[in-house]
Amino acid sequence: MAAKPNQDEAFVTEITKQSIDFSKWYLDVVRKAELADYSPVKGFMVIRPYGYAIWEQIQQQLDQRFKATGHVNAYFPLLIPESLLLKEAQHVEGFAPQVAYVTHGGGEELEEKLVIRPTSETIFGVMYQKWIQSWRDLPVLINQWANVVRWEKVTRPFLRTTEFLWQEGHTAHETAEEAQEETLKILAIYKEFCENVLAMPVVDGQKSDSEKFAGASKTYSIEALMGDGRALQAGTSHNLGQNFAKAFEIQFQGRDKTLQHAWTTSWGVSTRLIGGVIMTHGDDSGLILPPAVAPYQVVIVPIPRGTWKETVLPKCEEIAAQLKAAGIRVKLDADESQTPGWKFSEYEMRGVPLRLEIGPKDIEKSSVFAARRDTRVKASIPMEGLTDAITALLADIQKSLLERARTFREEHTSNADSYDALKAAMEGRPGFVIAPWCEEAQCEADIKAETQATIRNIPFGYEQAPDKPCIKCGKPAKVSAWFAKAY
Amino acid sequence: MAAKPNQDEAFVTEITKQSIDFSKWYLDVVRKAELADYSPVKGFMVIRPYGYAIWEQIQQQLDQRFKATGHVNAYFPLLIPESLLLKEAQHVEGFAPQVAYVTHGGGEELEEKLVIRPTSETIFGVMYQKWIQSWRDLPVLINQWANVVRWEKVTRPFLRTTEFLWQEGHTAHETAEEAQEETLKILAIYKEFCENVLAMPVVDGQKSDSEKFAGASKTYSIEALMGDGRALQAGTSHNLGQNFAKAFEIQFQGRDKTLQHAWTTSWGVSTRLIGGVIMTHGDDSGLILPPAVAPYQVVIVPIPRGTWKETVLPKCEEIAAQLKAAGIRVKLDADESQTPGWKFSEYEMRGVPLRLEIGPKDIEKSSVFAARRDTRVKASIPMEGLTDAITALLADIQKSLLERARTFREEHTSNADSYDALKAAMEGRPGFVIAPWCEEAQCEADIKAETQATIRNIPFGYEQAPDKPCIKCGKPAKVSAWFAKAY
């Protein structure tokens, strides 16, 4: 289905090297691997089938985790009356500059302008006010998979687009403790998912006050480190305290018969995760996909020699069926209009974790030739016990990718005890820099203005006062903050 | 999680009888069963978790069918430049009155107004123009699951809402024959799905010219018959010919090296199907869900007598686990704040196909007491072989519901050889009326104006001239059209 180049431009050679221009490399991979394309509307992308298949894997596997922890899905309206957005003061201040307005519908000007949801705390708030009366109605644990729109000046496919797909959880609880427990439970699910499924290690911790979600009491985030040493906020979980409950009058009769405001949370991850996968694992040949999210985990390329159609092809079909039966996602590419060489570089570029090459000689030897995408290690594998061997190889690729990314992060995480050290570390491919901070917004803002580094979060275990001065103002530090240049 | 009534209003008694007011019965069921709720934005509904769980079943099972026939999913932008909508003359004429306009974003007035997609032929057209160059790129078989907005004056949850969820397939082909084959293949998938999963029999056939999709060459539909004798268009599949390919310049180099326009199709079903399920199967006690789409297929209600917590409850948990292991969706409701009687009517109202009641006596007899929602037949089932027995019972409920709906449709389908007969048949709960028609739009329009009956479609097998006069004008009829009052 993909638009195929002519034979005379058969090899994919146009990906910019990471070392030359990481940003251009990223855009080349997105385009060449047919993950996404630009649309006629500025800032809006089309997620192409190969990119969307990764999103489907993310959706399914996250959704399982949400449901296993008692959450249910629902669907709330796309359009929100402007008046609702205005109800929570912090919230409107954060989102008003980014919203898109619908002013006309059905040939008439609307009485009240509607905004396309930039996030849905407000419309959930209205409904929760209606649905929640008693402590017996709590907790309410609802998630939705939806599109949201935030008008952005500078966009980049998956990382920052005016419209994006995400899930947004909105929960209401009886007590402050339960809301905090939920907030951290979700953060832990995000971390586990990123590490075990996306093979993308993340640092989990609390955001500084200035980086909090508009309207939250506390925001927690997971932060990943990309191949260029920049951080990517990969997911956030907010304890909203009673802020939204008070703005939207979400009240319930407590066990003691008094009327109380609920405690709410919200949390989300988006198609941005696909950008994270690309930039965590990719190399100069293109995409490298962890098997757990790869649309195809294995590609089988028959070598068309001699009587291959009678010998090789049926065997390839048999192996494909056998692997599928074991739950492995397989593509058999027997297209005769492309050479094996073209296919090898095409599927490398598309990041397929494992390639099997099968020719007449392999049939004679009763083996297949396997090439790993991550290490490029190639080996002959006996047909006997092939499914088990491939299952094991895929598990090893998944594990190795996570280890490699962890090692990269460790190599790109350093400590800075002085402002000069921080500034020096922010040159080149900086990574995370851990530095003592006084928790004053002014120091944080000055550092950002001067170095572009922002506090990604204060990871769990780093909230204690480090017995060192703040790198900016020299006053006693209260925490060790993790700084980075971020997407 | 559901808002529970107090004990003193413990029984759900507020559903209007179908025979008194079918329309009010429908709204009562939607509200009481917590399928959907009104939102603060007129015409927009919130799909609540229980309703959304039905949609998730529909999505999963349809998506499997699309993928099994070679389709892939993608995601296209929500907003479409107004200029694109104007490219296909028929299309804009059909949709322009219904679109919502986005005029401002990011604090500024937009240079070109954007419309919220009412459907996505135009934006798919732009991208297909870009992606398709050669006959080798064809067919392109893309589907998307998305929200769309069509400004509606009169709305009803699930059946007609300003925003709704749907899937829209958009395919491009090398030849007219292949496009027609695809159009009918999808129609057949819709029919099979409606009958086997939703237990909702449908009539498949071609729409009259005046009921065609705006911009289509041919539109096919599946039409179901609701409990009040009105028809529901449950899905449509359009052969777009080269209309959109010409408007959007979707051209490819053919096998003969000439430049040709592609042949395209589009097709969709929506959350409207949930309305169809409600009105096909429901009764005066509420919802009746076919097992294949029921969020819970079985509810287990322990009878809290004597030492039930030590005897009955562990057994209920064991049975629930055993049924879950067999892939059956089960809910165990051991909530002590509600009586078994309250639960019985609550789950009946919510349409759970099978209820198991288990008390101390059942434990003694090593059996459970099972109540079918569809027939209300109750029986004791031995614990020994319980999973198999329940699997068989669920299959029987699924089959019986389809048969019952087929019988109802047969009883409400009649032939009319004269206009008077048609008019008479359209009184009360009319159902389908088959009548000879000359294929003139004027006759069709006059009949609609005078009787509210529209031609739902010309089913396959009814396209031959019936050797009778058109019931309206008396000229020779060309087909036997199926008329009904429709939602």
The DSSP string of B280-315 is HH-BTTB----GGG-S-SEEEEE---TTTTTTHHHH
B296-395 matches B413-484 in fold:
no
pLDDT of residue A94: 87
Which position has the token pair 């900016």?
Answer: A472
User: Is the Cβ–Cβ distance between B76 and B124 less than 8 Å?
Assistant: yes
pLDDT of residue B345: 95
Q: Which amino acid is at B77?
A: P
Q: Using CA atoms, how far apart are residues B26 and B32, in angstroms rounded to an integer?
A: 10
| A314 touching chain B per CB within 8 A | no
Rounded to a whole number, what is the distance in Å from the CA of B414 to chain A's nearest CA? 38
- Tell me: pLDDT of B324 over 80: yes
Nearest to A10 by CA among A423, A379, A330, A343: A343
Q: Which amino acid is at B259?
A: L
| 3-class secondary-structure state, position A307 | coil
Q: Using CA atoms, how far apart are residues B202 and B273, in angstroms rounded to an integer?
A: 12
Give the dihedral sign, CA A55/A59/A61/A65.
positive
Give the dihedral sign, CA B196/B199/B204/B208.
negative
Q: What is the DSSP letter of A160?
A: B
Q: Using CA atoms, how far apart are residues A404 and A409, in angstroms rounded to an integer?
A: 9
Taking an 8 Å cut-off on Cβ atoms, the answer to whether B49 and A130 are in contact is no
Interface of B with A in 28-47 (CB under 8 A): 37, 39-41, 44-47
Quote the percentage of chain B above a pLDDT of 70: 97
Nearest to A189 by CA among A226, A220, A149, A210: A220
pLDDT of residue A422: 94
Mean pLDDT for B291-315 is 96
Q: Using CA atoms, how far apart are residues B99 and B117, in angstroms rounded to an integer?
A: 8
| A131 touching chain B per CB within 8 A | yes
Taking an 8 Å cut-off on Cβ atoms, the answer to whether A53 and B39 are in contact is no
Sorted by where each begins, the domain ranges of chain A are 13-281, 298-396, 413-484
Residues of chain B in contact with residue A103, where contact means CB-CB under 8 angstroms, are: 101-104
pLDDT beneath 50: ranges in chain A: 1-12
pLDDT of residue B13: 58
From residue A469, alpha-carbon distances to A432, A439, A475, A478 in Å are 19, 11, 5, 9
- Residue A316 phi/psi, 5° resolution? -60, -45
Interface of A with B in 221-260 (CB under 8 A): none
| A7 touching chain B per CB within 8 A | no
Q: Quick count: other Cβ atoms within 10 Å of Cβ B147?
A: 18
| 3-class secondary-structure state, position B379 | strand
Which of A209-223, B6-20, B140-154, B361-375 has the weakest average pLDDT? Answer: B6-20
Q: Using CA atoms, how far apart are residues B155 and B149, in angstroms rounded to an integer?
A: 12
- Assigned fold of A298-396: Rossmann fold (3.40.50)
What strand order describes the sheet that includes A354-358? A330-332, A298-302, A354-358, A367-372, A378-382
- Tell me: pLDDT of B2 over 50: no
Q: Using CA atoms, how far apart are residues B95 and A102, in angstroms rounded to an integer?
A: 17
Nearest to B371 by CA among B341, B399, B337: B341
CATH number assigned to the domain with residue range B296-395, chosen from the 4 options 3.50.50.60, 3.40.50.800, 1.10.630.10, 3.10.100.10: 3.40.50.800
What strand order describes the sheet that includes B330-332? B330-332, B298-302, B354-358, B367-372, B378-382
- Residue B132 phi/psi, 5° resolution? -100, 120
Q: Using CA atoms, how far apart are residues A484 and B20, in angstroms rounded to an integer?
A: 67
Specify the pairing of strand B354-358 against strand B367-372: antiparallel
Q: Quick count: other Cβ atoms within 10 Å of Cβ A60?
A: 11
Rounded to a whole number, what is the distance in Å from the CA of B112 to chain A's nearest CA? 10
In degrees, to the nearest 5, what angle opens at C-alpha B154 toward C-alphas B150 and B156?
Answer: 90
**Chosen from B8, B79, B114 to mutate, greatest number of chain A CBs within 10 A:** B79
pLDDT of residue A92: 87
- A431 φ/ψ sector (left φ>0, alpha ψ -120 to 50, else beta): left
Taking an 8 Å cut-off on Cβ atoms, the answer to whether B75 and A3 are in contact is no
- What's this model's pTM, rounded to 2 decimal places? 0.96
Quote the percentage of chain B above a pLDDT of 90: 92
Q: Using CA atoms, how far apart are residues B202 and B204, in angstroms rounded to an integer?
A: 6
pLDDT of residue A427: 83
pLDDT of residue A13: 58
Nearest to A82 by CA among B455, B41, B238: B41
Residues of chain B in contact with residue A51, where contact means CB-CB under 8 angstroms, are: 74
Nearest to B363 by CA among B313, B301, B325, B300: B313
B228-255 b/e (C-beta count within 10 Å ≥ 16 → b): bbbbbbbbbbbbbbbbbbebbebbbeee
Nearest to A419 by CA among A448, A441, A393: A448
Taking an 8 Å cut-off on Cβ atoms, the answer to whether B79 and A165 are in contact is no
- Tell me: pLDDT of B7 over 60: no
- Tell me: pLDDT of B332 over 60: yes
pLDDT mean across residues, chain B: 95
- Assigned fold of A13-281: BirA Bifunctional Protein; domain 2 (3.30.930)
Burial class (CB in 10 A: 0-12, 13-18, 19+), B423: middle
Identify the CATH homologous superfamily for domain B413-484.
Answer: C-terminal domain of ProRS (3.30.110.30)
